[in-house]
Amino acid sequence: MNQQQVQKEWKKLQKKEQIFVNRNLEQKTAVWQEKIEKYVPEKLESTLNNAFFKAFELIFQKGTGIIEKTYNREKKEQDYKINEFAAEVKNSRKSLRVFEKRAKNTRYVNSAVSTAEGIGMGLLGMGLPDIPLFLAVLLKSIYEIALAYGFSYDTKSEQLYILKVIETSLSHGEALVSGNVGLNRMEKNVEQISDTEFKSQMKKTSDVLAKEMLYLKFVQGIPVVGMAGGISDMVYQKKITDYAALKYQRRFLEGKIL
């Protein structure tokens, strides 16, 4: 493959990654969040944390097969091979961008699904029951991004990587910088992960999600008004999957650099 074209895409990716980091270094709190802070129950964050953890646990143990029923995995894997062959033959920058385009298309579709699901739950005043659905749509989107770049998501090590991607995408300050560097250093094939290490990462990721979405999930629990909180599902889906797409594109391009 033309190394000059690969290097151009690599430099473009590095710029986008740095923009994401710079934009999210400082944690910002909206005025409306400050106003409702006194109404949020003290135990809600720990309740949310536990809800996210249980949802991750359920999905990774039993839910992946169900998620895969919502798309044709075999076709996506075949599409990747076709695009890979075309990129080798055409040897152009445009053929490299096909992978990015396919990953972007799947994010748009899943973002729309997340918006509809979040608003629906918000209208009914269902904040906590929304969490398994939110994570299912989120993981579906990340799985499809992985497939678009030729990566699987079946192994514990890859699922650990996905959890770290979610955690880092919602982090700020030094946690974001160090998390991003750590992800860039992770090898494509990480050694076998212990159950203890995997559960520890699920807790870390659940904690970040609970902290970041605390006020929005509180609002979502209020009937009708919760629609505003439900819309936030789409906002977070976009932020997380935008970052996931950058990390998988990085791994893809690293494999092309000689």
Identify the burial level of 174 via C-beta atoms within 10 angstroms of its C-beta, where 0-12 means exposed, 13-18 middle and 19 or more buried: exposed
Name the packing angle between helices 130-148 and 44-58 (round to 10°).
50
- CA dihedral of 199, 211, 141, 232, whole degrees rounded to 10: 160
pLDDT tens by residue, 229-257: 545 667 888 899 999 999 999 999 998 88
| pTM for the structure as a whole | 0.84
pLDDT tens by residue, 180-239: 999 998 865 556 788 999 999 999 999 999 888 775 665 555 554 445 554 566 788 889
User: Greater confidence, 138 or 102?
Assistant: 138
Question: What contacts 56, CB < 8 A, 6 or more positions away?
Answer: 135, 163, 202, 205, 206
User: Which residue stretches of 59-172 are H helix?
Assistant: 64-68, 73-90, 93-123, 130-148, 156-169
By C-alpha distance, which of 220, 41, 189, 200 is closest to 126?
Answer: 220
pLDDT tens by residue, 38-82: 556 667 788 888 989 999 999 999 888 889 988 899 999 999 999
- Residue 119's pLDDT is 44
- CA dihedral of 256, 171, 56, 155, whole degrees rounded to 10: 20
